[in-house]
Amino acid sequence: MLPVVALVGRPNVGKSTLFNYLTKTRDALVADYPGLTRDRQYGRVRRGQRDYYVVDTGGMVEPEAALEQQAMRQVQYALEEADVVLFLVDARDGLQSGDAVIAARLRRIGKPVVLAANKAERAEVATAAGEFHALGLGSPYPIAAAHGSGIDALLDAVEARLPEDRGGEEVAPEDEIRVAVVGRPNVGKSTLVNRLLGEERVVVFDQPGTTRDSVYIPFERHGQRYTLIDTAGIRRRGRVGEVIEKFSVIKALQAIDRAHVVIYLIDAREGVTEQDAHLLGMVLEAGRGLIIGFNKWDGLEQEQKDRLHRQVDLRLPFVDFAEKHFISALHGTGVGHLLDAVQRVRAASTQDLSAARLTRVLEQAVSAHPPPLVAGRRVKLKYAHQGGQNPPTIVIHGNQTEELPGSYRRYLMNTFREALGLKGTPIRLELRTGENPFQGRRNPLSVRQIRKRRRLMKHVK
């Protein structure tokens, strides 16, 4: 296993900015807003011959509210698993009482600590950073994470304190499955992620908007590697007021695009809302495999369960291909079957489909229900082949395919899904019409045809 470096410090000192710079990603949400990060965010640093993980954490404060206590517990987990602690302070603000409290805590854990004075873009600020010697953690390294200055010297100091690779980390296999947990706020997404992992990995609190960033969590189960993506809850656009929440929604939508399979959670107590239907439409447009989980199912009366089933039939007929699971993330009811369903959906979305098999299914569908007539001519569908995976794309060649009505396209998709066993994944059809070699060409009339035409024209009034 690779070594781990934890980024810690007061709120708004630039930990997430440094995390993004080191990992060469934009995985961590960055804004000029204290307390933005609450969960642990992992990333991989590749520098020369050294590889190691870096962990972005929330700002360390004296927790007063219950939500802050949960965030500080995540920081404590990061400190326990870290091999080296990278302590960030703000060179512009100077030495603060909160920095001294954090330094005292870091000295007690007995792990190597590297001190970095961030936001030291100007020479006078970098010189003033010398006051951080008073923390007793050695000389601070002046850096500017937003611009990348001073980072090389800082990483040299960090890597000098890192242990050797513990066992040699393997490169992530191609069969790793990325699973995004998506839904409206406060439906239990973080609770489900923690239940699947078997540990308190992300902050869970009974308050909408607890999760602000998309957290990527790799883990392994029965030899299969996964990356769980816990996303922020997505509300209707009219209700998204804070700038931070707008960025959180963007990160959640990006997570859908990066995922192989989406687990969409619905609060069974609230039922299926218009926002649920809208978000499921976005997942469908992205072409991702889909599993719908109805959370908090165990506390419902039979009448509520029946009403929920009617809502699903009425509002979600366009995702009838998705697997549906009725679960309780808090108590674990039905959660154990979700990852098995993820594997089935992933296998269906990446299935290799031969042209002969697809054409045979197409011929059977056309034979059972021929395409309709268009301007007195019947649409001809000749053969089919696979055009892509995730989602499965089927290319159908024929004549006048652009005139094929939507109802017949849905009939073809349902036929292909049933015949090929493509459960849990959307299907895309691409209809292509071959070029008419005689289009735009006119045969010249013979002398006899010209005379006949003249005789007939005499009778035209």
pLDDT at 72: 74
Residue-wise burial string across 346-371, b where 16 or more C-beta atoms lie within 10 A, e elsewhere: bbbbbeebeeeebbebbeebbeeeeb
pLDDT at 125: 63
pLDDT at 218: 82
The token pair that represents 414 in the structure block: 């349902």
pTM (two decimals): 0.64
Asked if residue 141 lies in contact with residue 104, where contact means CB atoms within 8 angstroms, the answer is no
Using alpha carbons, select from 19, 62, 50 the residue that is nearest to residue 37: 19
pLDDT at 1: 62
Residues belonging to the binding site for GTP are 9-16, 56-60, 118-121, 183-190, 230-234, 295-298
Give the full edge-to-edge strand order of the sheet including 224-230: 215-221, 224-230, 177-183, 261-267, 289-295, 323-326
Give the full edge-to-edge strand order of the sheet including 113-118: 41-47, 50-56, 4-9, 84-90, 113-118, 141-142
pLDDT at 362: 94
Dist CA 341 CA 322 (whole Å): 10
pLDDT at 212: 47
Question: How many C-beta atoms surround the C-beta of residue 394 within 10 A?
Answer: 24
Q: pLDDT in tens for each of the 461 residues of the chain?
A: 678 888 988 888 888 889 888 888 765 554 444 444 556 777 788 888 888 888 888 777 765 444 455 567 778 877 888 889 999 998 888 888 888 888 888 888 888 999 998 888 776 665 667 788 888 888 889 888 888 888 999 999 999 988 876 544 444 456 789 999 988 888 888 888 888 887 765 544 344 444 445 677 888 888 888 888 888 777 654 444 444 444 556 667 778 888 899 999 999 988 898 888 888 888 888 889 999 999 988 878 899 999 999 999 999 999 989 999 999 988 888 888 899 999 999 999 999 999 999 999 999 999 999 988 887 788 889 999 999 888 899 999 988 888 888 899 999 999 999 999 888 999 999 998 877 666 667 778 889 998 998 888 888 75
pLDDT at 457: 86
pLDDT at 208: 43
End-to-end CA distance of the chain: 93
What are the angstrom distances between the C-alpha of 425 and each of 124, 203, 277, 322, 355?
58, 30, 17, 7, 20
pLDDT at 385: 93
DSSP class per residue in 239-253: G--SHHHHHHHHHHH
Residues belonging to the binding site are 9-16, 56-60, 118-121, 183-190, 230-234, 295-298
Query: Mapping DSSP to helix (H, G, I), strand (E, B) and coil, where does residue 293 land?
Result: strand
pLDDT at 172: 46
pLDDT at 169: 42
The token pair that represents 257 in the structure block: 């695009």
Which alpha helices (H) appear in 324-386, and where do they start and end? 338-349, 355-368
